[in-house]
């Protein structure tokens, strides 16, 4: 597999991961029973695992690592925030207001991650 093919795979997994999170968040906001479907509990984890694996592959292939490349460090920091906020939005938030705020924050983090990935600039905001 070439670097370009791996990058396209990574971008595809990122888009799919974002869409799945958005859909699950909308279902959470509408109290949809769809959130309890088996595939909804499995597929996002598979996609996110493949997204992470492709990210590690890209970092290794390009020899750019968090701590070394500021833009990549910013992406990883925002990813941690996205994961924490996503967990609060979909599972851990005690009230609807907390879940809604966490969902909005996670979407902002996701948009930031994408903007940094596209520009390779950690100061670039959307």
For residue range 75-101, list pLDDT tens digits in order: 999 999 999 999 999 999 999 999 999
Looking at the domain assignment, is residue 94 inside a domain? yes
Q: Considering the entire predicted model, what is its pTM?
A: 0.91
How far is Cα 70 from Cα 102, in angstroms, rounded to an integer? Answer: 26
Question: What's the pLDDT tens digit per position in 60-69?
Answer: 999 998 889 9
Looking at the domain assignment, is residue 13 inside a domain? yes
Looking at the domain assignment, is residue 105 inside a domain? yes
Domain count, the chain: 1
Domain range holding 31? Answer: 3-119
Cβ contacts of 120-123, under 8 Å, gap ≥ 24: 120/71, 121/71, 122/70, 122/71, 122/73, 122/74, 122/75
Residue 126: band (very low, low, confident or very high) from pLDDT cuts 50, 70, 90: low
Q: Per-residue pLDDT averaged across 10-22, rounded?
A: 98
Looking at the domain assignment, is residue 124 inside a domain? no
């Amino acid at each position: 597999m070439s670097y370009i093919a791996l990058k396209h795979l990574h971008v595809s997994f990122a888009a799919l991961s974002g869409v799945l999170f958005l859909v699950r968040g909308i279902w959470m906001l509408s109290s949809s029973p769809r959130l309890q479907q088996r595939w909804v509990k499995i597929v996002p984890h598979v996609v996110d695992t493949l997204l992470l694996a492709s990210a590690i592959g890209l970092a290794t292939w390009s020899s750019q690592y968090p701590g070394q490349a500021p833009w990549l460090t910013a992406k990883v920091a925002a990813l941690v925030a996205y994961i924490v906020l996503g967990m609060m939005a979909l599972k851990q938030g005690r009230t609807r207001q907390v879940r809604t705020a966490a969902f909005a924050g996670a979407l902002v983090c996701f948009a930031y991650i994408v903007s940094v990935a596209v520009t390779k600039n950690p100061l670039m905001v959307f």
